Structure 1
Amino acid sequence: MFTNEEIASFNELETSLYNFITQNIEKVVYMRIRELADETHVSTATILRFCRKVNCSGFSEFKVRLKLQLENEKSTVIKSGQHSITEFFERTLTGNIEEKIKKAAKVVTDAETVIFIGIGSSGILAEYGARYFSSLGTFSMYIKDPHFPIHPHILNDSVTIALSVSGESNYTVRHINQLKQEGSKIVSITNSKHSTVAKISDVNIPYYVTNEWYENSNITTQVPVMYILETMAREIYKINENKNRD
């Protein structure tokens, strides 16, 4: 329902409104504009401006579009793997993702310690990322426990690579805040640059594919994350090889 261009145009208040709506669609379609304003702590004028930005004449039309989206989601059609890959290549690889990967790789090569974090399927890929990086000569660790003891002097010269599809996981946000406060630089890989995780990161690499859910499970493709992790690891390897030759 929301295009990349529309999301990019949101200011801070509109972004928080967007996050609430996307996470509470079934509730929002039955709310009055004043109820939504009270729930999200924004003015009705902000909500109307938000509606106009997504090409709706007002809140009533916006709710109609939300209801149509809900009806479409109830008749879930699982997209083919080819569709997901094509979408990633068309939306992301035509942008500046390679530049962002190189920037992230530079941050990693400047650090002494590399930490991967994530939860759920992102946690599985974080563990894979730590192994893949280590295989190419950049020793990395995957930490799933936010209370895992790490000496402060290690975190002062570290980089944390955080994986999150939504970028709104409370667990991941809290974990990032803890590591950031101890001095770790944050590189995040998320599905949108407007998420909380993306905004509190030093470097964010967004990949923009359609979120997919089946019942209560997020089945959004993780192929873009694999691509980004492996490309970043190879870029880090090249940088280190050039340093060694010099």
Structure 2
Amino acid sequence: MRQSPVLTEIAAAIPNLRKSEVKVAEYVLKAPEQVMHMRIVDLAQEAQVSEPTIVRFCRGIGCNGFQEFKVRIAQEMAVANNIGQFAIAEDDSIEDICDKIADTTIQRLHQVKSQLKTKQVAQAANAISAARRVEFYGFGASGAVATDAQHKFFRLQVATAAYSDPHMQSMSAVTLGEDDVVVAISQSGRTKDLLHTVQLAQQHGAQVVSLAPANTPLSLAADLPIHINIEEDTEQFTPMTSRIAHLMIIDMLAVAVTQRRGPEFAEHLNAIKRSIKSLRLEN
């Protein structure tokens, strides 16, 4: 069984924890580097809970006890320190820049894979497969993902469109119905205009699939959320690794929908390949 990054798992579990366990979770998330060097009695004292509460909390997130919990935190902190969000220095060479971006992207994709709930992907793929129409909504870098998704699903004989303008999204949302699906894509999960159009689509009966971090307004509003938890420094750079992670999930959905079409659908895909062959130069 795959293990999710423990800090991400703790954050996602908070709404379902007891009040005493929430105290433990909040302290751990605030000071993970200190916690991995603490004794159980120290953490109990700092979080103002009992030692049995600490043990119950650890087991609740899949650890056998406090020692295993500390090991998982130490492992996660080591990865974060070695291959974290890249920081570009003024004297970095082009080789340094390439290494930092590539290594960070690879690490983040592994992170998304480790915490991905495949049941969420399956439910979303089922909804898309059965939909009369599928609309993809996103802004900025997420708008580029929406456009890529529209291109992929168009080839699968899905009636689809992608919109990155709030007015177009609103007009699209009110034309949808019970047989339609919206896929809302957001790195932050907190974009006001996107939340507005999602609510409009739901008011008219459409199902909403979200690609966003867990416990954000968008993922909580969605009918079928797919949680993608990536923290990025967006003050200096356009979201990079989250965009690539979203593209990866779109590919998973496209392949899952293709599989649901059955083996006879392969001829349709081959026909598309043949249709564009003449547009390419021969070797």
The answer to whether the superposition gives a TM-score over 0.5 is yes
Which of structures 1 and 2 has the bigger CA Rg?
Answer: 2
**Root-mean-square deviation (CA), in Å?**
3.4
> Is the CA contact 1:115–1:141 (under 8 Å) kept in the aligned structure 2?
yes
1:41 is matched with which residue? none
> Is the CA contact 1:189–1:225 (under 8 Å) kept in the aligned structure 2?
yes
- Are 1:187 and 2:191 counterparts? no
Instruction: Find 1:143's aligned residue among 163, 171, 187.
Output: 163
The structure in which a higher percent of residues are helix is 2
1:212 is matched with which residue? 233
Aligned length: 196
Could you tell me which runs of 5 or more consecutive residues in structure 2 were left unpaired when the two chains were aligned.
1-5, 17-21, 32-45, 48-85, 89-96, 267-283
Higher RCO structure, 1 or 2 (CA under 8 Å, sep 6+): 1
2:105 is matched with which residue? 84
Q: What's the offset of the Cα at 1:146? A: 4.0
> Is the CA contact 2:125–2:257 (under 8 Å) kept in the aligned structure 1?
yes
Match of 2:209, SS state, is strand
- Distance in 2 (alpha carbons) for counterparts of 1:164 and 1:211: 13
1:72 is matched with which residue? none
Q: What's the offset of the Cα at 1:83? A: 2.4
1:224 is matched with which residue? 245
Q: What's the offset of the Cα at 1:153? A: 6.6
Q: What's the offset of the Cα at 1:152? A: 5.5
1:130 is matched with which residue? 150
Could you tell me which runs of 5 or more consecutive residues in structure 1 were left unpaired when the two chains were aligned.
13-46, 59-74
In structure 2, the CA distance between the partners of 1:151 and 1:97, relative to structure 1 (3 Å rule), is closer
> Is the CA contact 1:212–1:220 (under 8 Å) kept in the aligned structure 2?
no
- Are 1:176 and 2:151 counterparts? no
Instruction: Find 2:260's aligned residue among 236, 239, 242.
Output: 239
In structure 2, the CA distance between the partners of 1:210 and 1:81, relative to structure 1 (3 Å rule), is farther
Match of 1:93, SS state, is helix
Instruction: Find 2:12's aligned residue among 8, 15, 30.
Output: 8
> Is the CA contact 1:212–1:219 (under 8 Å) kept in the aligned structure 2?
no
> Is the CA contact 1:210–1:220 (under 8 Å) kept in the aligned structure 2?
no
1:177 maps to a residue whose letter is Q
Instruction: Find 2:29's aligned residue among 49, 54, 65.
Output: 54
Aligned ranges for residues 198-209 of structure 1 at < 5 Å?
Answer: 198-209=219-230
> Is the CA contact 1:160–1:184 (under 8 Å) kept in the aligned structure 2?
yes
